[in-house]
Chain A
């Protein structure tokens, strides 16, 4: 039921977001000439607090906040792989992202493909990294719209037919305009509202759920009755899948252009390390969302067939007073806008830096680069809307699953490249190709399941496809590098000042060699 109080709070949150977006211009302003660094990275000016809200708000998307509880509602324990996954992200941010930031800042790199270009001196490898990033980001962007739709539908605020679509388009258009004008500053200021709204509303909802249902014990008992108590626990057969999904997703996350863009926008590697310390707060939030999925089971929420992600919005709608429901729905909707904006900026920046300037218009002025990036970011958003209306929801979910497998294939070039350039760029290209083909093949063969059974002596071992593809990729890259080294195939020059190899005994002259 769409109560007036609920709709009013919901609209108030959205209005707050729009107002904030208008003030984005004032966030760390400067009078420099327009540049891609200013538009896409907010002039690398974000301190620890802003980095925390932006990075957290970008990593923890609205889709995460609806899909994880949806999975918990439908499958029970396996959904909670999201907790180890996002716990592991923090040490990775501490080590990889901080190091990447330092190189990027020193050489003026804006995208991760810029780094690959500089490190290996290989244009094809950089192109492949950029295109993989764009390809993996697009379905993720579309999924944010699905997150909004799940919320609007559960709250009965998604009118059937064209009106509902118009509501969503209007929401997105406002964001698109703000992003067009202010770049990354727009999602940054909105992410502050997202953090406050999500943390406040979720704490309140969890509290009320616990009071209404009589404590956490009752919630788990009730859920066990509906789903069977075995579903609330991982059987030994499911454990390898759980662990590999957590690890693979964590490694993949740091390769996504939107996460890197949010990271690059911070004002120092020290800031990023500080942020990594506080990032688990967002993980705690995600775990609470997962718990609400269990609670939805306990309460007996009946989500429509094939739309488990509606379970928690329906639970909230059923149990909570109107204003709080509106706040939750508003928080999730704003929660979709932040990553969507960052994703469109990241995809556009990759396109401009690594395709447009590299291959189409090498002499483009910074001003022109910004203009093209703005148009591309707009196109990306329009594309996402078209995608959601044109294709089935399941297609977006499937493509996002593939996107995760794909983005993992740039891990060797990027993460290994941060420490050593021993891997030959051509071998990396070959490894990437093998990983992409094998990963896609396996995912499609398994009927778009992230898990693939591997036959072993002790019976089938189920593990995450992305990790299988990554292992194949690394094997090819290592073997290829050995071969190419033997054949003395030349490689491009290293333009970065990172040490060429990982040294153990002597500290290299430059750069921090952190473990």
Chain B
């Protein structure tokens, strides 16, 4: 039997990659001044914060993808 198409790893990858879309396109959640950080309105620092967050999420997605690839290769070899 072949490995399933939907694996926990792939769900994880999808979540990591979809999260920035939800956060960034939901503009209403961050179009405000408070709480300010060092005098920077929330609108600006929150978006800046998402730059490293998205990098971390993509990194997690990358690791999960690598693991998924290895698992698949093992699965095919076991067949």
A164 to chain B: which residues have CB within 8 Å? none
Could you say which of A215, A232, A506 contacts B5, with CB atoms under 8 Å apart?
A506
How far is B36's CA from A218's CA once the two chains are assembled, in angstroms?
A: 13
* A171 sits at the interface (CB 8 A): no
Contact indicator A221/B39 (Cβ below 8 Å): yes
Q: Which of A110-118, A321-329, A507-515 contacts B (4 or more CB under 8 A)?
A: A507-515
B20 to chain A: which residues have CB within 8 Å? 87-88, 90-91
Contact indicator B58/A232 (Cβ below 8 Å): no
B28 to chain A: which residues have CB within 8 Å? 236, 239
Question: Which residues 189-225 in A have Cβ within 8 Å of B in the complex?
Answer: 215-221
How far is B3's CA from A505's CA once the two chains are assembled, in angstroms?
A: 9
B32 to chain A: which residues have CB within 8 Å? 233
Query: Could you give 17 example pairs across A and B, Cβ below 8 Å?
Result: A80-B43, A84-B47, A84-B50, A90-B55, A221-B39, A234-B43, A239-B31, A243-B24, A243-B25, A274-B62, A277-B58, A280-B58, A287-B47, A505-B4, A506-B2, A507-B2, A514-B13
Contact indicator B39/A280 (Cβ below 8 Å): no
Could you say which of B18, B21, B40 contacts A220, with CB atoms under 8 Å apart?
B40
Contact indicator B5/A504 (Cβ below 8 Å): yes
B11 to chain A: which residues have CB within 8 Å? 515
How far is B66's CA from A186's CA once the two chains are assembled, in angstroms?
A: 32
Question: Which residues 1-55 in B have Cβ within 8 Å of A in the complex?
Answer: 2-6, 10-11, 13-14, 17-18, 20-21, 24-28, 31-33, 36, 38-41, 43-44, 47-48, 50-52, 54-55
A95 to chain B: which residues have CB within 8 Å? 17
B5 to chain A: which residues have CB within 8 Å? 503-507, 513
How far is B18's CA from A60's CA once the two chains are assembled, in angstroms?
A: 23
A283 to chain B: which residues have CB within 8 Å? 51, 54
Contact indicator B58/A94 (Cβ below 8 Å): yes
The interface size of chain B toward A, counting residues with CB under 8 Å, comes to 42
**Interface range, A side:** 35 or more
Contact indicator B10/A87 (Cβ below 8 Å): no
Could you say which of A87, A215, A234 contacts B31, with CB atoms under 8 Å apart?
A234
Question: Which residues 342-400 in A have Cβ within 8 Å of B in the complex?
Answer: none
- Which partner residue on chain B sits nearest A92 by CB separation? B17
Contact indicator B25/A247 (Cβ below 8 Å): yes
* A254 sits at the interface (CB 8 A): no
* A19 sits at the interface (CB 8 A): no
* A178 sits at the interface (CB 8 A): no
Contact indicator B54/A280 (Cβ below 8 Å): yes
Say yes or no: A215-B48 contact (C-beta < 8 A), given A277-B62, A514-B65: no
* A71 sits at the interface (CB 8 A): no
Contact indicator A216/B55 (Cβ below 8 Å): no
Contact indicator B39/A94 (Cβ below 8 Å): no
Could you say which of B13, B39, B59 contacts A277, with CB atoms under 8 Å apart?
B59
Q: How far is the CB of B79 from chain A (nearest CB, A)?
A: 12
- Which partner residue on chain A sits nearest B40 by CB separation? A216
Contact indicator B40/A280 (Cβ below 8 Å): no
Say yes or no: A284-B58 contact (C-beta < 8 A), given A87-B20, A243-B25: no
A233 to chain B: which residues have CB within 8 Å? 31-33, 41, 43
* A316 sits at the interface (CB 8 A): no
How far is B43's CA from A242's CA once the two chains are assembled, in angstroms?
A: 12
Say yes or no: A91-B44 contact (C-beta < 8 A), given A233-B33, A239-B28: no
* A77 sits at the interface (CB 8 A): yes
Q: Closest 10 CB pairs between A and B?
A: A217-B39, A84-B24, A91-B17, A515-B14, A239-B27, A234-B31, A280-B55, A243-B25, A83-B47, A277-B58
